[in-house]
Structure 1
């Protein structure tokens, strides 16, 4: 009976978040209110709350999560120092003279921004401000321009080094250990963030390739909707000066992780320092801008950790009400076994992506369903990439996709909201195709980590 109280608590949290209340305080406040009511009614054991200080200390002292502020700092520096603007200008002059070339430039630069910022909102807003006016002035179809920018912005979910993968890796590692302990497997294995980074490379590059193919096909079928630019091409030296420094920085960060020379946290530190040096070398960093960078980094980091703390309180109270046992029983009785259980979870995450950010889903939903699915035999690396791409798709889906809201906030009034919605539909289909391909061929995610770990 108390398990249904846990489900009611989850529903109340979703409803409260839809009303616009702060996420972290909604999670913790709702959970503590239900716990207090449960203690008074005699249906909640207060001893569960005694584990809370240890959980919170473990969260704050987690060395893996130190990568979050460092990757945020790296991304904010590259954004504030106008390196992204220089990149887009260079790439558009390289590809712009071909049909659909400006769209391809947006995808390439968006991929590089995704690899540097790892934050969907930052990438969509930056690309919306920089590239949307250029695409509309260049005669691009409004729906194609809007769809390309929104879809490219969501690559921050899957292209490493992604903050979403850092957080997901930490949660999945805990879920995997709990699943193994539930199966009486002692000395349990863990899931490293580095493995998730490696696993995301092939699916991420596949998405970029399919986005590019779609834009070029659209330009070929409807030449007037993606005309070539009449700007003169830049000299090669000027192109390389804008392209190579950020590419080199990303290569050092990712390469050190892939080669096993650095942990994601250490690589994030190298990336943050490298971004500062890069900005300084281009005379784009002064004391005032450094202050802005520090404040923005602090705001994002504080938000992430406050949500993390709220989610820890919520999951503890949820477990205290027996919600985890109820869900475990539901999945075990579900016809279709692990296939049906995975399908239900993927559908749930997709739907929750309409109303919750990836951070809330990662820290609230994954700890509940993750141990159950992993105990049923799913590969944790494959499950992590499936969840990441699923969340990426939900960012695009009308009418509640977060990427749509981000672009609407910076787009001119002349761009109709309906055009944004129409533009993202082909990209949603592409992402669902990649998700289906991953389901049918799990080695798309698991092969590369297995090769590098040999």
Structure 2
């Protein structure tokens, strides 16, 4: 009966393509298949007895409390124009250099990723603020749009990333299940903090590769990325420039530093970040009842969406396992040529392709719980696997024609920027990210060394 879990997976993908809300598509498909299985005797009602405990476990999960706090932090930095001041300051510092505006955008994108972790917010913010300026100063449209899309997706891999928070929770559950099945009662664990630390070096290397590409372009084709000085009316004092740079840098240092040094859990650090973003908004004089209301409503919408999807995905996962889906996936991977390497390549290819049509939240809650236990059972390191999945999802966000980052930028780009410019512009960055995936596959220590060095 291995065709039943496969049919269930295909059915939910078809429902998702119709545009039906993800959470209800997952839960509804699961209930329909469970009801059909009970009628035909292929599904046991006892498999649904774990649903109440699973739902209460989701609501009481302290790790997932980091999600609304990080979302609040990111939206507040955007609405209070702290991100705008950061981009303006960086542009004025690097603009006079060849390719300087491109370098500024990469650095700002990395800093926004480390302070928001929200891909859409970063792409839209930089698209609105920097793209018109780059085009006026003679930057090639393809390079400009590719830079903005690529740096906007850094929020998937640079901590504190919401994607890493969700992946960390899913992988921790899968890892503990595997250890229990192997009879290991003294459980090791993998935490969100481990993934944050593990993603730090690969994320910085990826930023370095982006910077190297822009420098190479500015030297080989200087007309694509010319240097320019700001107009007299745009010149600002060093005090004003540092005022735009230092506050968000201090906030990032407080959030990441408290996690890396073990002084705070990711959830506690998220609370520090949310409160710090609130203080920055007040100091920037862009905090009032209207803005605060917009931030709270946006945070509530995103948080409700995440938790509803998680509830639907948990129900889907329970029914999928009840039909023997986990055993079917294990048998499929075991029969695959190449062993664990072949299975890993197949999973990465599947996640990459699904990234065209599904958001990272759906992939994290639907696909990862199915494939992660099998891969972890084959001996893969959970930290390395989590970072690889995050990098892979980041690449799929860029790939035409369905990359989400492309849609975000298309929505705010000037009329003279064609869709083909955006598609052509992201291609070099897709290759850079594939190179980074290859580097991490060859040298897993890039993701695993720092967590083991810090936490043992």
User: Shorter chain as normaliser: what TM range?
Assistant: over 0.9
1:339 to 330, 338, 341: 341
**Residue pair 2:30, 2:315 contacting (<8 A) in 1 also:** yes
The answer as to 2:69 corresponding to 1:67 is: no
- Structure 1 counterpart of 2:356: 354
Please give the alpha-carbon distance, in whole angstroms, between the structure 2 residues aligned to 1:408 and 1:29: 33
- Structure 2 counterpart of 1:238: 240
Q: How does 1:4-403 map to 2 (within 5 A)?
A: 4-231=3-230, 234-403=236-405
C-alpha distance after superposition, 1:298-320 (max 9, x if no partner): 00100110110110011011111
Displacement after TM superposition at 1:217 (Å): 1.1
SS of alignment partner, residue 310 of structure 1: helix
C-alpha distance after superposition, 1:62-90 (max 9, x if no partner): 00000000000000100000011111111
SS of alignment partner, residue 356 of structure 1: coil
**Structure 2: unaligned runs, 5 residues or longer:** none
Structure 1 stretch displaced more, 29-38 or 224-233 = 224-233
SS of alignment partner, residue 426 of structure 1: helix
SS of alignment partner, residue 245 of structure 1: helix
- Structure 2 counterpart of 1:407: 409
**Residue pair 1:94, 1:234 contacting (<8 A) in 2 also:** no
Please give the alpha-carbon distance, in whole angstroms, between the structure 1 residues aligned to 2:300 and 2:360: 19
Displacement after TM superposition at 1:339 (Å): 0.8
C-alpha distance after superposition, 1:407-429 (max 9, x if no partner): 11111221111110100000000
SS of alignment partner, residue 106 of structure 1: helix
**Structure 1: unaligned runs, 5 residues or longer:** none
* Count, aligned residues: 453
Displacement after TM superposition at 1:269 (Å): 0.3
Q: Please report the TM-score for the alignment, with normalisation by the length of structure 2.
A: 0.98
Structure 1 stretch displaced more, 46-55 or 243-252 = 46-55
Please give the alpha-carbon distance, in whole angstroms, between the structure 1 residues aligned to 2:178 and 2:373: 5
Please give the alpha-carbon distance, in whole angstroms, between the structure 1 residues aligned to 2:451 and 2:193: 9
Q: Please report the TM-score for the alignment, with normalisation by the length of structure 1.
A: 0.98
Structure 1 stretch displaced more, 179-188 or 118-127 = 179-188
Q: How does 1:422-433 map to 2 (within 5 A)?
A: 422-433=424-435
Please give the alpha-carbon distance, in whole angstroms, between the structure 2 residues aligned to 1:410 and 1:234: 27
Displacement after TM superposition at 1:185 (Å): 1.7
C-alpha distance after superposition, 1:96-145 (max 9, x if no partner): 01111111111111111111111111111111111111111111111000
Structure 1 stretch displaced more, 220-229 or 370-379 = 220-229
**Residue pair 1:395, 1:403 contacting (<8 A) in 2 also:** yes
Displacement after TM superposition at 1:187 (Å): 2.8
Please give the alpha-carbon distance, in whole angstroms, between the structure 1 residues aligned to 2:269 and 2:197: 14
SS of alignment partner, residue 139 of structure 2: coil
Q: CA RMSD in A?
A: 1.0
Structure 1 stretch displaced more, 91-100 or 39-48 = 39-48
Please give the alpha-carbon distance, in whole angstroms, between the structure 2 residues aligned to 1:302 and 1:132: 32
Displacement after TM superposition at 1:326 (Å): 0.5
Please give the alpha-carbon distance, in whole angstroms, between the structure 1 residues aligned to 2:246 and 2:260: 20
SS of alignment partner, residue 49 of structure 2: helix
Please give the alpha-carbon distance, in whole angstroms, between the structure 2 residues aligned to 1:335 and 1:205: 34
Q: Which runs of 4+ in 1 moved over 4 A?
A: none
C-alpha distance after superposition, 1:23-46 (max 9, x if no partner): 111111111111111111221111
Please give the alpha-carbon distance, in whole angstroms, between the structure 1 residues aligned to 2:142 and 2:376: 40
Please give the alpha-carbon distance, in whole angstroms, between the structure 2 residues aligned to 1:246 and 1:275: 8
Structure 1 stretch displaced more, 352-361 or 230-239 = 230-239
